[in-house]
Every structure is written in structure tokens, then in C-alpha cells.
């Protein structure tokens, strides 16, 4: 096991109470530190660039800590402060990203769920399959990898909302720092989505950022470790509230087709890319998008505030994540004023309905031993120039092509 080899190596290195100078390192080898593995519990711990003997323009630090009390008892948080952006990861909840903050702008949102809830206290099957909502409050919530979508019975089994990934604690969480500039900071971990006869998925997650940057990147690899092809679905539920989301905020992306998710979303179809302020009684509208990308599938999506002076840019690839759900939950502030920019293999219908989509492969398969990669970058757009540059990139990808607005939902799921 490469993990174990690494571990024994690290044990030597980290003998000095977790504080190690980088000086004696061979140039090709990253500095690595095991934060959590089968032998090592999560412990309060921190390290910074000075302790590592690394000279960067912006000093950086990483901190691991554990939450206590309430339904967050025993939850690990891992905070990466790259000197400009502070990114908070949740090993206990599928390596989700709780929030990121730079320049006083917070990427994330205020859910009514105040705690970072330990999956041990969640029954996904409760609330008619909506138990997932008892823990939902992150910037990036992984949905999948067996299924995504609304709860419902498919093939005799209740598929709970958006799958299990976010409620699987990560194993083998390893921090590494590249030995040469830009000294990229990486956290790797593994999610095991396994059940005898049912599924044998391993998801290796990586989050990386560079000291001083306003950007971080997810790099996830799903492996079907089993001997049979399996259906899979994935959706990255990326959620943003104020200050980016506000009355007049805009969603901008190169889009080929827009359709309302359901009849609720039909009346606002014309304004599908515009946001209202906090609106009591609004609940949510969802639009199914099919984006355009470049010849290699690369594309982006932007959310920016009304003035166009701040925003977030999401870079990803349509060959990995071909469809996109735009979730506009511009209800009242306390209800959770938030929008989701959600690239995925699939829309948010229950899996049973997604098999019916003509011409779209919304319930893809992964063969034995096969892998699927999913890469997403999140960049804070700090000023009007950055927003403007990103919008121009979108226009360049749209290249004057039409955006089809389909007046009706692609399908009308029958309630069971």
C-alpha cells in the first residue's frame, strides 16, 4: 500500500512533534504529513510556513481541530490559510468545503443548520429521504457517487437526497506541500462508498491551493473497485450567499440550453440568470442548463454581485460534468438565502427519472477498474476588472451562439 509506505516515511519525519524543517528534503519529494489514518486520530495540530522553513511572499498555515458539543461532537475541521484565502475543509463530512474567505469576501452561505454535523447523528432515510438536509450548510457539498437527486424509490430502494458522499468521513487524510515554488499546498483523502454486493467505490479527493492565491482546486477521482459496471452520478453542490448573492446579482456562463426544472420554475424562465434579493415565500427555482465549452470541454461559470465588482469563477470540464443545475434559493435570509452552481453528470431528479432522458447520458456507467476524474477550480474575483475578464471569457466561449430557452420542463416526474 503506497499509503502505508508514505506513513512510515512520515513517522520518521514527523517525530519532532509534527514540526519539520524542509531543508533536508530531496528536491523531488513533497513534504508530507499524515493528519488522519487508521492508526492516527484527528488531533488539534497546526503548522506554518515558518516552521516548515519555507519563504513565501505570503506566509501560510494549516490547522486541524475538532469540534465538540451538540451534533458536531467529534467533527474534524481542517483550515488552510494560504496567506490570502482561508479555506475550511471537513474531513468528517466527505471532505466538503465549509467555506473560503479572502479580501473580506466569504464564499459560502448561512444555512439554518448552524453546526457542522457529524454523520453519526444523521439518518439519511429520515424525513422521507431528506435527512441530508439536517447537515447541509457547506460551500461545496459532494453529491454522489452512487446517485444524486431528489429522494424517491428506484429499483425497490429509497434513494435518499443527493447520495451518501457528504456523510462519509474521509480516511487517510494527508497534507503535502510541494518542495519548490509555488509551494502548492495539497490535502488528499479517501472516501469509501462500499456495501457488499452493492457498491465498491473509492473516491480520492484532493484540494490544492497556492500560497497567496485567491483560488483553490478540487481534483477528485472515482474508482469502481468492483468487478461489475455500475451506474454512478455526481453533482458538485457549490453554494453561495451574500455578499456575492444579492438583488441584481447575475449568473454568467456559456449556455446552449436552459429549461425549467419543474413547473414552479416556468414563470421566471426569462430571468433565469438573474437573482432577486431575499424574498419571503420564494422557496426555490431550479434551471437545468446545458453549457457550452471549448474544444476540449473546458468551461466556466460565474456568479457576480449587482455592481459587477466581486464574484466567483468556477472552472471545470464538460467531458467530466456535462450538465449543470442552477439552484436559486433566494428566500429570506434566515431561511437560507443561497444559490447553487452545480455542475454534474446529472440533473437533480430522482435517478429513476433520469434514465429516461433522450440523448443525455444522465445515469452513466463506470466499468470495473475504471476511473472518472472531476476537477473544479474556485476563484474569487476580487474587483471589477477580474469580473469583467471572466465575463469576457464566457462571451468568447458562447461565441454568439444561441441559448435555447425551453418553455417546459424536460420531464415531469410522477410522484410515487
Q: Which residues sit at the interface with a second copy, rule CB under 8 A?
A: 36-42, 65-74, 111-115, 118-121, 123-128, 130, 133-134, 136-137, 156-158, 160, 168-173, 190-192, 194-200, 225-228, 280, 331-336, 368
- Minimum gap (Å) between residue 71 Cβ and a second copy: 6
Minimum CB separation of residue 233 from a second copy in Å reads 16
**Residue 172 CB, nearest distance to a second copy (Å)?**
6
CB of 403 to a second copy, least distance (A): 30
What's the rounded Cα separation, in Å, for the pair 185 and 87? 11
Beta carbon of residue 173, minimum distance to a second copy (angstroms, whole number): 7
Q: Residue 380: beta bridge partners?
A: 312
Q: What is the smallest separation between the CB atom of 289 and a second copy, expressed in angstroms?
A: 22
283 or 383: whose CB is closer to a second copy? 283
DSSP 122-164: --TTHHHHTGGGGS---SEEEEEES--SS-EEETTEEEPTTBS
Q: Counting Cβ atoms within 10 Å, is residue 73 exposed (0-12), middle (13-18) or buried (19+)? A: middle
- CA dihedral of residues 314, 106, 205, 63 (deg, nearest 10): 150
Q: Which residue has the cell 471589477?
A: 384
Pick the closer one to a second copy by CB: 73 or 294. 73
Residue number, 138 or 210, with CB nearest to a second copy: 138
Beta carbon nearer to a second copy, 148 or 387: 148
Give the C-alpha separation, 341 to 241, whole Å: 11
**Minimum distance from CB of 31 to a second copy (Å)?**
21
Nearer to a second copy, 72 or 348 (CB): 72
Using CA of residue 255, residue 261, residue 262, residue 265, what is the dihedral sign?
A: negative
Give the DSSP per-residue string, 275-340.
Answer: --S--TT---EEEEEEE---TT-EEEEEEE-TTSS-EEEEEEETTTS-EEEEEEE---HHHH-EEE
Choice between 115 and 231, CB closer to a second copy: 115
**Residue 173 or residue 290: which is nearer to a second copy going by CB?**
173
Amino acid at each position: 500500500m503506497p499509503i502505508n509506505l508514505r506513513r512510515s516515511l512520515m513517522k520518521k519525519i514527523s517525530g519532532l512533534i509534527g514540526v519539520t524543517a524542509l531543508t533536508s528534503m530531496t528536491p523531488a519529494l513533497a513534504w508530507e504529513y499524515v493528519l488522519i489514518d487508521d492508526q492516527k486520530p484527528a488531533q488539534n495540530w497546526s503548522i506554518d510556513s515558518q516552521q516548515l522553513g519555507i519563504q513565501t511572499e505570503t506566509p501560510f498555515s494549516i490547522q486541524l481541530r475538532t469540534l465538540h458539543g451538540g451534533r458536531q461532537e467529534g467533527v474534524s475541521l481542517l483550515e488552510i490559510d494560504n496567506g490570502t484565502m482561508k479555506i475550511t475543509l471537513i474531513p468528517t463530512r466527505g471532505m466538503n468545503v465549509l467555506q473560503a474567505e479572502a479580501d473580506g469576501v466569504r464564499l459560502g452561505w448561512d444555512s439554518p443548520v448552524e453546526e457542522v454535523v457529524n454523520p453519526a447523528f444523521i439518518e439519511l432515510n429520515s424525513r422521507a429521504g431528506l435527512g441530508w438536509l439536517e447537515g447541509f450548510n457547506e460551500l461545496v457539498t459532494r453529491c454522489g457517487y452512487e446517485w444524486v437527486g431528489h429522494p424517491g424509490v428506484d429499483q425497490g430502494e429509497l434513494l435518499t437526497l443527493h447520495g451518501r458522499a457528504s456523510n462519509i468521513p474521509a480516511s487517510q487524510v494527508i497534507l503535502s506541500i510541494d518542495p519548490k515554488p509555488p509551494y502548492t499546498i495539497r490535502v488528499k483523502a479517501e472516501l469509501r462508498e462500499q456495501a457488499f454486493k452493492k457498491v465498491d467505490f473509492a473516491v480520492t479527493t484532493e484540494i490544492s491551493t497556492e500560497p497567496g492565491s485567491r483560488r483553490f482546486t478540487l481534483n477528485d477521482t472515482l474508482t469502481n473497485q468492483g468487478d461489475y459496471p455500475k451506474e454512478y452520478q455526481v453533482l458538485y453542490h457549490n453554494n453561495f450567499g451574500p455578499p456575492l448573492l444579492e438583488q441584481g446579482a447575475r449568473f454568467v456562463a456559456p449556455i446552449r440550453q436552459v429549461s425549467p426544472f419543474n413547473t414552479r420554475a416556468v414563470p421566471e424562465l426569462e430571468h433565469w440568470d438573474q437573482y432577486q434579493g431575499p424574498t419571503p415565500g420564494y422557496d426555490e427555482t431550479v434551471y437545468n442548463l446545458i453549457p457550452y465549452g471549448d474544444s476540449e470541454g473546458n468551461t466556466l461559470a460565474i456568479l457576480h454581485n449587482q455592481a459587477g465588482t466581486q464574484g466567483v469563477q468556477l472552472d471545470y470540464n464538460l467531458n467530466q460534468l456535462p450538465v449543470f443545475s442552477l439552484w436559486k434559493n433566494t428566500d429570506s435570509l434566515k431561511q437560507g438565502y443561497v444559490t447553487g452552481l452545480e455542475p454534474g453528470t446529472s440533473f437533480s431528479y430522482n435517478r429513476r427519472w433520469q434514465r429516461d432522458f433522450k440523448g443525455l447520458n444522465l445515469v452513466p456507467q463506470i466499468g470495473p477498474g475504471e476511473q472518472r476524474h472531476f476537477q473544479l477550480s474556485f476563484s474569487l474575483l476580487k474587483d471589477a476588472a477580474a469580473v469583467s475578464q471572466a465575463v469576457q471569457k464566457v462571451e468568447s466561449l458562447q461565441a454568439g451562439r444561441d441559448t435555447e430557452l425551453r418553455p417546459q420542463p424536460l420531464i415531469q416526474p410522477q410522484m410515487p
